[in-house]
Amino acid sequence: MSNFAFGTYRITDQNPQHIQALIDAIEAGIRVIDTSTNYMDGSAEKAIAKALRNFDDETRSSIEIVSKFGYIQGSTLARHKEEPFEDVVEFSPTCFHSISKSFMLDQLEKSLIRLEVTKIDCYLLHNPEYYILTMLNKEKPLDEVLDSMFDRIFDVFVALEEQVKNGTIGSYGISSNSFSVDHKSLEFLPYEDLITLADKASEMVGNERHSFTTIQLPINMLEREGLKCASWAKAKGIRVLANRPLNAQKDELMFRLADYDESHEYYHHLNELLDVCGEEQLQPLRNLIEQLDENKHKYGWIGDYDSFLYAQIIPHIQRTLENIEKNYLETMLNYIDMFLVEYRKMVAYECAKSTRIQLKEELEGCNKTLQECALNFLAQRESIDYILIGMRKPSYVADIMALAE
């Protein structure tokens, strides 16, 4: 049966709740923490270091840290524009990518500093298929693209084997969304020859055997194609980490596989906010709140709301409050904040109800919560070693560990 690992995709060292969640998870028995150089622009790695300061050397040494490299975003992207890295793929204006040896070494050095360690247990190439996607967008022949892709992977495998020999990493692997797509898809990253590349890389460096130990990929109740890759990996002695266990895609729609309770405070805060929006200058805000209330059941999944919140809702609120007197502004912001907290709970509740209806066939026979159904599905797969799950709050840690029991 699979074990749970702590995923740090949205963890930051600036949030005390995140640090406490990490501490609670370690105290509860979590022994694998997954992170990446680009998670919260490096803050996730700093958060891990901050949490581990609370433990003695014996406990710290029992924790395996898995980190990843490849993305050029945030402050790393700003550095690239000042002094360009090698072999960079420009996937989008805000997302560049590289798996070159020099970039890997740069990111490894930064990770070691942020994590406050001298060795990272496992270091993964993070979605190297960005090269494939970018080259295919430029209409390059697929065979040519794949040959070049594997040349790039081999070169960095050699560099990673060197770091294993030097003692700065324990092992390495690949985290790829493209391991989970259909073999016939142009986005598929073939994995059958990766061990051969690792064998050649270790031989070139002079290591007794390769240290390619781990793959990571999305697998969940709705996206099962990755189970083929997982079975291949287990047959070859490669460890499998499954990510996105609760955020699933089907027919180009996203679903959050979790149940949420209805907010009992929502209508109190809704009416309270509407009452204080009686002045004419606040009419645009009142209109927005009324529209949000009317449409709380129309989001496809909670991620749609989160994107809409930052792209549309918050900017609209900011424009409305531009001319509010300073003393009154703080009061208004408190009302708005309390409303938005409860509104998100209501959106999550409505999305969960819709998900149960849309996924009726997939959920047939499971009388537990959505998250229990989803996590049990993975836990029962012998080909999966660890299930990566975000636990940003101590309450989330408690919930997940209760399921583990």
Residues 98 and 104: their CA atoms lie apart, in Å, by 8
Q: Please indicate, yes or no, whether residues 241 and 377 belong to a single structural domain of this protein.
A: yes
With a cut of 90, say whether residue 280 has pLDDT above it: no
- Residue carrying the six token digits 């240290």: 211
pLDDT of residue 327: 80
Domain count, the chain: 2
With a cut of 70, say whether residue 1 has pLDDT above it: no
- Cα-based distances in Å from 1 to 36, 234, 239: 26, 13, 13
DSSP state letter for 12: -
Average pLDDT of span 320-340:
90
Residues 44 and 37: their CA atoms lie apart, in Å, by 8
Average pLDDT of span 178-191:
94
Provide the CATH number for the domain around residue 199: 3.20.20.100
Residues 317 and 284: their CA atoms lie apart, in Å, by 9
pLDDT of residue 2: 62
With a cut of 90, say whether residue 25 has pLDDT above it: yes
Q: What is the pLDDT of residues 203-234, one digit of tens each?
A: 999 999 999 999 999 999 999 999 999 999 99
Q: Please indicate, yes or no, whether residues 126 and 245 belong to a single structural domain of this protein.
A: yes
Q: Please indicate, yes or no, whether residues 205 and 331 belong to a single structural domain of this protein.
A: no
- pLDDT confidence of 284, banded at 50, 70, 90? very high
Category of 337 on φ-ψ map: left (φ > 0), alpha (ψ -120 to 50) or beta: alpha
| Domain around 276 | 266-358
Residue 384 lies in a domain: yes
Which residues 6+ apart lie within 8 Å of 40 measured at CB? 10, 11, 12, 47
Q: What is the pLDDT of residues 98-157, one digit of tens each?
A: 999 999 999 999 999 999 999 999 999 999 999 999 999 899 999 999 999 999 999 999
Q: Please indicate, yes or no, whether residues 18 and 43 belong to a single structural domain of this protein.
A: yes
Q: Please indicate, yes or no, whether residues 164 and 300 belong to a single structural domain of this protein.
A: no
Residues 156 and 342: their CA atoms lie apart, in Å, by 47
Average pLDDT, the chain: 95
Q: Please indicate, yes or no, whether residues 159 and 206 belong to a single structural domain of this protein.
A: yes
Residue 363 lies in a domain: no
Q: What is the pLDDT of residues 44-94, one digit of tens each?
A: 999 999 999 999 999 999 999 999 999 999 999 999 999 999 999 999 899
Residue 147 lies in a domain: yes
